[in-house]
């Protein structure tokens, strides 16, 4: 089985990662996690920062070309898209950003990981690692599983990482660099050695005996998973049967929604929407999967034509290849949408690379998917229906309704609303659209960009990886029940 671990763990487990050897690794990890619980978290952040620096150097070298080529063949993304994904890893591995995220996520911030902090006159609390942590990746992007892994390591957890089949080479490459940072005799290297010996990365296919053991039987504190059904339900079911009752940290399938107001800066909005459609082929939870245009049909058509021009340019930079079956579904859907009254905007040569459908007031995609049930989200790469809306109330209802519609089967809710509007209209729209239950409302241009202060899908992810310990030093409290 393919795996990497720090040198002390490798000495324990030997050449093969098995159920017996992973139990030895877990015993070591629990003990080591307990020993280091009072250590300052600052050095761990510096190690991750150095990891980010080394990753940037790797991407700038010719060594990265083979990795990018392999990931491109496995994910279906073009080389440039893969490179973009890998470059975001350097942004993730930034000490200042991690510090900001933890300070905003944990009660008392980063300091609460190393000491008790006063919460009242005689009340204190602190955060301690809740691990060992098992984080399970899925999908094409390397970012979700690395976000979880770095957050778990930064909060002092012994961390086992199982990446997805399509991104495992990148995850191995990134995290194995921890060992190289620990080569020297410096304080930073000492911290890196501790972190590398707090990390195991392995790959086994879904349903494998080791992965099943870790979820169903192992003494694990937290199981973290990003993904959709059926895997989401299977992970939940297996972890719930574990007598150790690990905390289950799930991030399920979500979608993005674009809203464009007729009075917005429409040239910029067209560019931003074209980028959102192109980046990651709309496979991110923040990617726009439908759009509303607040204005009349002619205005919407004019705007969509401009988006089409931008998509022509973007496709040259980020080419896409679609399977024959996917092309067949798309062509059938185009014909039905046109018959139902939608205005279609497609590449100048009529190719399958991207499609825009402009519909008046109501979606025509629902009836199309009823006739072509396979034309679901995974088959709608670089496809977007733009629907006209009379007012912001119409937009709110469309966003609320999206998870219950057949074209979006499997989507739990809208994660991100990307909004293009004047500042005054942005404030008015966002104050209403928070009622849609979307987790994020951001400028259209920023749909795929996260601030370190942001929660993940309505909660701060770091809190999934810690226990908050409370002490009251006197009898009773003003707020006691």
Give residue for tokens 């795929």.
Answer: 448
pLDDT in tens, 118-134: 887 788 889 999 999 99
Q: What pLDDT does 481 receive?
A: 47
- Could you tell me whether strands 222-226 and 247-251 are parallel, antiparallel, or unpaired per DSSP bridges? parallel
Residue 98's H or E segment, with its range, is: helix 95-105
CA-nearest of 379, 82, 377 to 253 is: 377
Q: What pLDDT does 472 receive?
A: 87
177: burial class by Cβ within 10 Å (0-12, 13-18, 19+)?
buried
Q: What pLDDT does 57 receive?
A: 97
pLDDT in tens, 360-383: 999 999 999 999 999 999 999 999
- Contact predicate 249/461, CB 8 Å: yes
Spatial distance between the Cα atoms of 473 and 287, rounded to a whole number of angstroms: 49
Q: What pLDDT does 477 receive?
A: 58
Q: What pLDDT does 193 receive?
A: 94
Domain ranges of the chain: 2-252+457-472, 255-446
Q: Which residues of the chain have pLDDT under 70?
A: 476-481
Q: What pLDDT does 207 receive?
A: 87
How far from the centroid of its chain's Cα atoms is residue 373's Cα? 27
Averaged pLDDT of the chain: 94
b (16+ CB within 10 A) / e for 293-316: bbbeeeebbebbebbbebbeebbe
Spatial distance between the Cα atoms of 108 and 95, rounded to a whole number of angstroms: 18
| Helix, coil or strand: residue 235 | helix
Q: What is the CATH number of domain 2-252+457-472?
A: 3.40.605.10
Spatial distance between the Cα atoms of 167 and 84, rounded to a whole number of angstroms: 14
**CATH homologous superfamily, domain 255-446:** Aldehyde Dehydrogenase; Chain A, domain 2 (3.40.309.10)
How many other β-carbons are positioned within 10 Å of the β-carbon of residue 180? 14
- Contact predicate 384/365, CB 8 Å: no
Single pTM value for the model? 0.93
CA-nearest of 75, 66, 193, 195 to 143 is: 75
């Amino acid at each position: 089985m393919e795996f990497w671990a720090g040198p002390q763990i490798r000495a324990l487990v030997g050449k093969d990662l098995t159920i017996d050897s992973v139990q030895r690794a877990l015993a070591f990890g629990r003990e080591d996690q307990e020993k280091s619980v009072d250590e300052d978290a600052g050095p761990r952040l510096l190690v991750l920062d150095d990891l980010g620096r080394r990753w940037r150097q790797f991407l700038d070298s010719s060594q990265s070309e083979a990795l990018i080529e392999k990931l491109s063949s496995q994910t279906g993304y073009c080389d440039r898209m893969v490179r973009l994904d890998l470059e975001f890893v350097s942004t993730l591995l930034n000490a200042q950003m991690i510090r900001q995220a933890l300070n905003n996520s944990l009660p008392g911030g980063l300091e609460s990981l190393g000491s008790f902090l006063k919460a009242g006159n005689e009340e204190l609390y602190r955060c301690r690692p809740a691990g060992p942590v098992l984080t399970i990746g899925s999908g094409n992007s390397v970012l979700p599983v690395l976000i979880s892994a770095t957050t778990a390591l930064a909060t002092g957890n012994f961390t086992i990482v199982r990446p997805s089949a399509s991104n495992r080479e990148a995850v191995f490459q990134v995290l194995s660099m921890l060992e190289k940072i620990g080569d020297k005799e410096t304080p930073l290297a000492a911290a890196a050695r501790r972190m590398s010996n707090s990390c195991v990365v392995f790959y086994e296919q879904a349903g494998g005996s080791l992965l099943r053991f870790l979820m169903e039987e192992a003494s694990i504190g937290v199981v973290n998973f990003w993904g959709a059904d059926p895997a989401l339900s299977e992970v939940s079911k297996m972890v719930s049967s574990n007598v150790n009752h690990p905390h289950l940290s799930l991030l399920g399938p979500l979608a993005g929604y674009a809203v464009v107001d007729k009075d917005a800066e429409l040239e910029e909005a067209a560019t931003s929407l074209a980028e959102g459609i192109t980046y990651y082929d709309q496979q991110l939870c923040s990617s726009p999967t439908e759009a509303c245009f607040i204005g009349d049909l002619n205005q919407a058509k004019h705007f969509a034509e401009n988006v089409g021009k931008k998509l022509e340019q973007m496709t040259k930079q980020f080419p896409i290849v679609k399977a024959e079956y996917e092309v067949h579904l798309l062509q059938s859907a185009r014909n039905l949408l046109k018959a139902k009254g939608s205005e279609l905007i497609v590449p100048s040569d009529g190719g399958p690379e991207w499609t825009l459908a402009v519909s008046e007031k109501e979606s025509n995609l629902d009836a199309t998917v009823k006739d072509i049930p396979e034309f679901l989200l995974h088959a709608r790469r670089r496809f977007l229906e733009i629907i006209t809306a009379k007012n912001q109330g119409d937009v709110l209802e469309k966003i609320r309704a999206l998870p219950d519609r057949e074209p979006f089967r499997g989507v739990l809710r809208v994660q991100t609303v990307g909004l293009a509007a004047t500042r005054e209209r942005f404030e008015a729209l966002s104050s209403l659209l928070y009622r849609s239950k979307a987790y994020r409302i951001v400028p259209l241009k920023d749909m795929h960009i996260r601030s370190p202060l942001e929660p993940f899908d309505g909660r701060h992810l770091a809190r999934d990886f810690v226990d908050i310990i409370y002490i009251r030093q006197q009898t009773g409290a003003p707020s006691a029940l």
